């Protein structure tokens, strides 16, 4: 399926559909007339096979207590092997209503109040929330922006872990918002440091299927298996980002080691008695069984959108710098050479009428950045560029006026 065919057949207008992204703009940003580029979901309907599977269940008309579909595990394992060469075992798999909820549960399960938990900003802002909400000590080791993209600072990582007696680390892999796919050697170094200091790693791999051409994702669990460190790793992922089905409340927790499973099952006995999402599992199984072509088309669209918008910036507003996008459909953009950090909201939200994720949500040190969502139609991105070009003209006109005033004073 071509990109144009995919867009025509799957793009949907989401206003007045109770969409958080489109219908909560007044509540979240104070304005209704913004083009939403913030929430990490898309404007594309799920694969036809998913729609058909859900319709079959709905036609049945019964939504009582349900078991996990018999073939869910094998279908999911085949997807992991087919797309990531990942060896997966049925005993590993537990379910949650979402990856963020899984993080809250796992932090609660494997640490105590006051324990130190490490994250690596700039990073998905719920990571901060889970540590603070669970009354754990927040420890950060910042990623470093280099000429070769964002990198982990392993010296700082080890120092922070030792100084704070870190008990648990949350790894974002692939990384949101900087778009990195961590290489094997990076994951090995990260795991070595954590294992040597008895730190449990929770690897958030929700974007693992959204990998752009030229990059290869490898699960932290696969690295841990090769190094004999499965006891040190828990993995979370879901079909929600891959196939745009977040509201179906179906996410996965991998507990590869028997000791982890025993701890989690004992904790769940006391703290967790939520039923699984039957519709979410039906949709997930159908997507993992028949969604390959849909995903290929979506990835082609994201790749095209990324290269197009990057070229537009380079040609018309070269002061805007974008991080290399290796994974996710979320583009990390540095505006600091174009506009002052304190003016980002004014120019981007108030003038360009764009609803974005602001850099300071991901780190106190990235004010002046924004994150925008490329999982949308090329037409919407053309609107983005047109609006930014209008803002750029205003900025240049203001600069010219100020320059002329300075010349007159001289």
DSSP sequence for 41-95: --SBPPPHHHHHHHHHHHHHT---S-PPPTTHHHHHHHHHHHHH-----GGGEEE
In a domain, 54, yes or no: no
Q: Over 70: is that where the pLDDT of 400 sits?
A: no
Domain CATH code at residue 9: 3.90.1150.10
* Token representation of residue 209: 């299927």
Max CA separation in the chain (angstroms): 81
**260 and 335 housed in the same domain:** no
Percent of the chain scored above 70 by pLDDT?
97
Tell whether 209 and 232 lie within a shared domain.
yes
CA distance 293 to 41: 19
Q: Which three-class secondary structure state does DSSP give residue 289?
A: helix
Q: In what order do the strands lie in the sheet with 233-237?
A: 93-96, 251-254, 233-237, 200-204, 166-172, 116-119, 137-140
pLDDT tens per residue across span 40-87: 999 999 999 999 999 999 999 999 999 999 899 999 999 999 999 998
Residue 407 has pLDDT above 90, yes or no: no
pTM for this entry: 0.94
Q: What is the dihedral of CA 292, 297, 301, 307, to 10 degrees?
A: 80
Q: What is the 3-state secondary structure (H, E, C) of 197-211?
A: CCCEEEEECCCCCCE
Q: Report the distance separating Cα 329 and Cα 376, nearest Å.
A: 9
From 290, 310, 336, give the residue that closes a domain.
290
Q: Cα separation of 353 and 371, whole Å?
A: 15
Compute the distance between CA of residue 144 and CA of residue 121 in angstroms, rounded to an integer. Answer: 9
Task: Indicate whether 325 belongs to any domain.
Answer: yes
Q: If you count them, how many residues does the chain have?
A: 410
The pair phi, psi for residue 371, each rounded to 5°, is -120, 130
Q: Which residue intervals of 165-207 are DSSP H helices?
A: 184-196
Kindly calculate the radius of gyration of the chain based on its CA atoms and give it in whole angstroms. Answer: 22
> Could you tell me if 183 and 216 are in contact, meaning their C-beta atoms sit under 8 angstroms apart?
no
Q: Among residues 224, 256, 290, which one ends one of the domains?
A: 290
- 3-class SS at 33? coil
Q: Which of 35, 26, 23 is nearest to 377 (CA)?
A: 35
311 and 263 fall within a common domain? no
Q: What is the mean pLDDT of residues 357-365?
A: 97
52 found inside a domain: no
What is the DSSP-derived secondary structure letter of residue 172? E
Asked if residue 56 is part of any domain, the answer here is: no
- Are both 286 and 296 inside the same structural domain? no
231 pLDDT more than 50: yes
Identify the H or E element spanning 141.
Answer: none
pLDDT of residue 158: 98
171 and 262 co-located in one domain = yes
Q: What is the pLDDT of residues 281-334, one digit of tens each?
A: 999 999 999 999 999 999 999 999 999 999 999 999 999 999 999 999 999 999
Instruction: Supply the pLDDT for residue 410.
Output: 29
State the pairing for strand pair 251-254/166-172.
unpaired
Q: What is the mean pLDDT of residues 2-13?
A: 93
Q: Note every long-range contact of 42-45, with CB atoms under 8 Å and residues 24 or more positions apart, other chains counting.
A: 42/244, 42/298, 42/329, 42/373, 42/375, 42/376, 43/11, 43/12, 43/13, 43/14, 43/375, 43/376, 43/377, 43/380, 44/6, 44/10, 44/11, 44/12, 44/244, 44/298, 44/375, 45/10, 45/12, 45/244
The reply to whether 302 and 280 lie within a common domain is no
* Residue 164 shares a structural domain with residue 305: no
- The structure tokens listed for 163 are 């100084």
Q: Is 241 contained in some domain?
A: yes
**pLDDT score of 1:** 82
Q: Which tens digit of pLDDT belongs to each residue from 248-264?
A: 999 999 999 999 999 99
- Report yes or no on 259 lying in a domain: yes
**Cβ proximity of 264 and 94 under 8 Å:** yes
pLDDT at 384 over 50: yes
- As for how many domains the chain has, the answer is 2
Mean pLDDT of 197-212: 98
pLDDT exceeds 90 at position 27: yes
- Given 259, 290, 321, the domain boundary residue is 290
Note whether residue 55 is domain-resident.
no
Residue 341 lies in a domain: yes
CATH of residue 260: 3.40.640.10
> Are residue 104 and residue 40 in the same domain, yes or no?
no
Phi, then psi, of 253 in degrees rounded to 5 = -120, 125
Cβ within 8 Å of residue 282, ≥6 positions away: 53, 54, 57, 69
Region 232-236: mean pLDDT is: 98
SS3 236: strand
Residues 277 and 299 in one domain: no
pLDDT tier, 399 (very low <50, low <70, confident <90, very high otherwise)? low
Token couple for 4: 């144009």
Q: Residue 162 has what pLDDT?
A: 98
Specify whether 403 is located in the same domain as 312. Answer: yes
Do 272 and 333 reside in the same domain of the chain? no
Domain span at 359: 3-47+292-409
Q: Which parts of 284-334 are beta strand (E)?
A: 321-322, 330-334
Average pLDDT for the chain: 95
Residues 215 and 305 in one domain: no
């Amino acid at each position: 399926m071509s990109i144009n065919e995919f867009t025509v057949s799957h793009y949907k207008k989401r206003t007045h559909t109770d969409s958080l992204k489109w219908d909560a703009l007044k509540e979240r940003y104070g304005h209704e007339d913004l083009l939403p580029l913030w929430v990490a979901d898309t404007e594309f309907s799920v694969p036809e096979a998913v729609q058909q599977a859900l319709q079959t269940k709905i036609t049945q008309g019964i939504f009582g207590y349900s078991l996990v579909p018999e073939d869910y595990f094998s279908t999911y394992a085949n997807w992991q092997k087919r797309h990531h060469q990942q060896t997966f075992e049925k005993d590993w798999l537990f379910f949650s209503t979402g990856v963020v909820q899984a993080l809250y549960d796992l932090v609660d399960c494997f640490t105590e109040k006051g324990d130190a938990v490490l994250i690596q900003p700039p990073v998905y802002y719920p990571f901060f929330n889970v540590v603070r909400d669970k009354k754990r000590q927040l420890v950060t080791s910042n990623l470093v922006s280099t000429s070769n993209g964002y990198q982990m600072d392993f010296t700082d990582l080890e120092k922070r872990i030792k100084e704070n007696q870190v008990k648990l680390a949350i790894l974002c892999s692939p990384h949101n918002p900087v778009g990195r796919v961590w290489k094997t050697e990076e994951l090995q170094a990260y795991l070595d440091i954590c294992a040597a200091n008895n730190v449990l790693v929770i690897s958030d791999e929700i974007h693992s299927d959204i990998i752009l051409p030229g990059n290869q994702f490898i699960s932290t669990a696969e690295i841990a298996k090769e190094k004999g460190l499965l006891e040190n790793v828990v993995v979370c992922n879901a079909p929600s980002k891959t196939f745009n089905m977040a509201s179906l409340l179906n996410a996965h927790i991998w507990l590869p080691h028997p000791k982890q499973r025993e701890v989690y099952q004992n904790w769940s006995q006391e703290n967790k008695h939520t039923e699984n999402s039957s519709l979410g599992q039906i949709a997930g199984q159908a997507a993992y069984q028949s969604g390959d072509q849909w995903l290929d088309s979506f990835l082609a669209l994201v790749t095209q959108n990324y290269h197009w918008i990057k070229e537009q910036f380079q040609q018309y507003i070269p002061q805007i710098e974008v991080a290399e996008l290796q994974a996710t459909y979320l583009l990390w953009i540095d505006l600091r050479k174009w506009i002052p950090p304190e003016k980002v909201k004014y120019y981007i939200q108030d003038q360009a009428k764009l609803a974005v994720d602001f850099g300071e949500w991901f780190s106190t040190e990235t004010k002046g950045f924004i994150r925008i969502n490329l999982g949308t139609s090329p037409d919407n991105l053309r609107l983005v560029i047109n609006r930014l070009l209008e803002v750029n003209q205003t900025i240049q006109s203001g600069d010219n006026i100020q320059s002329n005033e300075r010349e007159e004073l001289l």
